[in-house]
Structure 1
Amino acid sequence: MTPETQPGVRTSRRDLVRFATLTGVATVATAAAGGLAGQQAAQAADANSTVFPAEYIYPTVSGPSLAIWGSSSVEGAYADQGVPAGVKATLPELLSSYLSVPVLGFGRGGDTSSLITARRGVSANRYKLVFPDDMIPASGTVPVTLASDANVSWGSSTQVPGYVGDVPGLLLAGETENSLFFTRTVPGEEIYAPSDTAAAWLYSYQEMISRACYHVLQIGRNNLAETSRIQEDTQRAFDMAPTRSIVLGHFRAQKDSNTSDRAKQVETYNAWAAKTFGDRFMNPETFLRETTQESWLRYGALAGSGIWSSDKDRAAYKEGKIPPSFYATDGFHLNGWGYVAIAQQIYYRVTQLGWF
């Protein structure tokens, strides 16, 4: 079954490639049937399996490793800007180089805090699906809805690989609001999955393969105005592995004034996170404004960037802002040098904690 035959399913070039990949899937990871057993089915060794599309192939975790959770900044939006051609400046690639360990990048552009924590495996935000006639089809794509008590919010960026019982599949948002589709990635028998039981719950594949990892959490940049929600979601994600998690805060956009709504939202979240998590919290605004001026970093990892060499950077600092040289052309994301700086911040924090 192709996306063209499913009303409302996205048909971008990327999605067409994804569905083409699905049709070539030939093997399935061993999974125990039903409920929690399905959640426990996938292990780190499955990270390179052909159960899911190619974009969900991650480094195999067989020792110390790091998982990074977030939205477009973790995914690497604009990471090629500013840096020399060919430099891979995404956080996962930089940190893998710095730490010499596998780094699993679980970033998804556009994801809100509830979508990120659903992928992280937070039970309160789990996808409780309702299949037509309570049946998972033997193959192909089927429209699904969320159970009335589901706590995760719908989002147009929804894209979650996972297992419903022992059935591997991909949950995708449709074109219209609140529309969702589940694509079974490996054909099999039609399965009864009543919506009022755990048999219809989707368990995150990303959570399954990262259970042995340490975790970096950047949660809520796309719904900063929902202060209570992003704090609750951050706390829940942190509590999944409190001794192996650190929280990365947020930063304002380039043109945000010190009194703008977003600047205040960033300040509120960062202050709360600093108080709540202590040395397990990292403030990117402080690091980008202050620490990057120190010679070990300015003339070390940031050598050749030109950061702090312009009058605009100095003027921004005096105004209490991040230097514009760290921003991408959209003024919202960081450029490659900004990611280099944040990767350095994460690197030094995780090594200080003795994780690697």
Structure 2
Amino acid sequence: MPQHAAAPAAPAAPLSPSSALTGTEASRRLLHPESEAPALTLWGSSSMSSEGGDEATAVPVRIHEHLALAAAPAPVHPFGVGASWSRHTLLQRGLDTPTLIGRGDPEPGTSRLEVTLDSGLAPSGPIRVPGRVDGVDGILDGSSGTWYFTPSDPADAVTGGVFVSSLAEIAEGSRQVLWMGKNNIRDVEGVLEHTARMAEAAAPGDTLVLGHWCTEHDEAGSATGAAVAEVNAGLAEAHRDHFLDVQHLLTGEEGLASSPLAPLQLLEQGTTHDALARAVVPPLLIASDGIHLNGWGNLVLSWAIVRRMQELRWL
């Protein structure tokens, strides 16, 4: 009996754009990132640079690393400097452009020049700010406890002049997270003013301000505790939805019972309730130095920042 040829298969229906996609939305964002995402710049002191984040957790928890994962493909610029004051952050951002006054002659070979700032600002912590003095590129370095300006090219020696930070160019057009002023928290008006100036330097809606939290040195009834409360109240009023209350996060039931902290069972610990009675952050979230968050503290803070960034539609 003759065999009939099989009918040709019908052509496959063309794939719709949505059916052609593979993987999850998160994996597609990671592997095929959009190119228009604005950068994110982090300003502040040692807490912003995650000092203490290498304690208590299996791996170190760095805030900027978590934000880089969440914000990808947007670049994240971590400019936190330990021990810095809010005035140092203005210097980094290029909002303070002091005149450098030379002390002596430039050093042979490097042209490094010891300087003071006409603003009277003293160095603090490992601060090093790239910038220009009257058009000459170099580094303003206060990490030794004395200000020095070293030109990038030793042939371009300077004897002084107006310094402008080049970090301002990097931060231009970026969104920003501010966590500044804890080291000079008792200067309430100064912290609020400097934070406001930083926010004004960015586009409207492009700033998220983090509040400060109380250590054992800032317990209820102390001068620093009162200053923390006053600064937080001022920041909350000024920045509203763009203010993240870190003290409430780290002492409130919602934050302490949140998923990142579930393994610690904080609300079942006696030390937690002892700390809350003094209006300070529980010790299981604090590094051994007593003044920084440990890995767990940084983990829940990173979680809260990402959640707020999502609410603000930054992500």
TM range (shorter): 0.7 to 0.9
Question: What does residue 218 of structure 2 align with?
Answer: 256
Q: In the comparison of the two structures, how many residue pairs are matched?
A: 277
Structure-2 separation of matches of 1:292 and 1:314: 14
1:126 aligns to what SS in structure 2?
coil
Larger mean CA deviation between 306-315 and 323-332 belongs to 306-315
1:141 to 112, 133, 136: 112
**How big is each residue's C-alpha offset from its partner over 1:246-286, in whole Å with a ceiling of 9 and x where there is no partner?**
21111111353211111101000001111111111111000
2:178 to 212, 217, 225: 217
Structural RMSD (CA): 2.6
Instruction: List aligned pairs for 1:241-252, cutoff 5 A.
Output: 241=202, 242-252=204-214
**Aligned-residue offset at 1:67:** 0.9
**How big is each residue's C-alpha offset from its partner over 1:1-32, in whole Å with a ceiling of 9 and x where there is no partner?**
xxxxxxxxxxxxxxxxxxxxxxxxxxxxxxxx
Structure-1 separation of matches of 2:110 and 2:219: 52
**Aligned-residue offset at 1:190:** 4.3
Rg: which structure is higher? 2
Instruction: List aligned pairs for 1:149-168, cutoff 5 A.
Output: 150=119, 153-157=121-125, 158-168=127-137
Instruction: List aligned pairs for 1:303-318, cutoff 5 A.
Output: 303-318=262-277
2:140 paired with 1:171: yes
TM-score (norm 2): 0.79
Specify the code of the residue in structure 1 equivalent to 2:38.
P
**How big is each residue's C-alpha offset from its partner over 1:105-154, in whole Å with a ceiling of 9 and x where there is no partner?**
111111011011111221xx22321246999998431112223xx3x621
Structure-2 separation of matches of 1:134 and 1:212: 38
Question: What does residue 277 of structure 1 align with?
Answer: 239
Question: What does residue 9 of structure 2 align with?
Answer: none
Residues 311 and 206 of structure 1: is their aligned pair in 2 closer, same or farther, counting only changes over 3 Å? same
Question: What does residue 183 of structure 1 align with?
Answer: 150
Specify the code of the residue in structure 2 equivalent to 1:76.
S
Question: What does residue 281 of structure 2 align with?
Answer: 322
1:331 aligns to what SS in structure 2?
coil
Task: Give % identity.
Answer: 29
1:216 aligns to what SS in structure 2?
strand
8 Å contact from structure 1 (residues 138, 190) kept in 2: no
8 Å contact from structure 1 (residues 174, 181) kept in 2: no
Question: What does residue 205 of structure 1 align with?
Answer: 166
Structure-2 separation of matches of 1:204 and 1:93: 24
8 Å contact from structure 1 (residues 142, 181) kept in 2: yes
Gaps of 5+ in 2: 1-34
Structure-2 separation of matches of 1:346 and 1:128: 37
Specify the code of the residue in structure 2 equivalent to 1:348.
R
Structure-2 separation of matches of 1:326 and 1:353: 27
8 Å contact from structure 1 (residues 128, 202) kept in 2: yes
Question: What does residue 195 of structure 2 align with?
Answer: 234
8 Å contact from structure 1 (residues 223, 230) kept in 2: yes
8 Å contact from structure 1 (residues 70, 218) kept in 2: yes
**How big is each residue's C-alpha offset from its partner over 1:204-256, in whole Å with a ceiling of 9 and x where there is no partner?**
22221121311011121001111121111111111101431121111111353
1:288 aligns to what SS in structure 2?
helix
Structure-1 separation of matches of 2:109 and 2:54: 42
Structure-2 separation of matches of 1:283 and 1:81: 23
TM-score (norm 1): 0.71
**How big is each residue's C-alpha offset from its partner over 1:61-92, in whole Å with a ceiling of 9 and x where there is no partner?**
974221110001011211111111xx231110
Structure-2 separation of matches of 1:216 and 1:96: 13
8 Å contact from structure 1 (residues 130, 145) kept in 2: yes
Structure-1 separation of matches of 2:218 and 2:157: 52
Residues 254 and 133 of structure 1: is their aligned pair in 2 closer, same or farther, counting only changes over 3 Å? closer
Structure-2 separation of matches of 1:215 and 1:288: 22
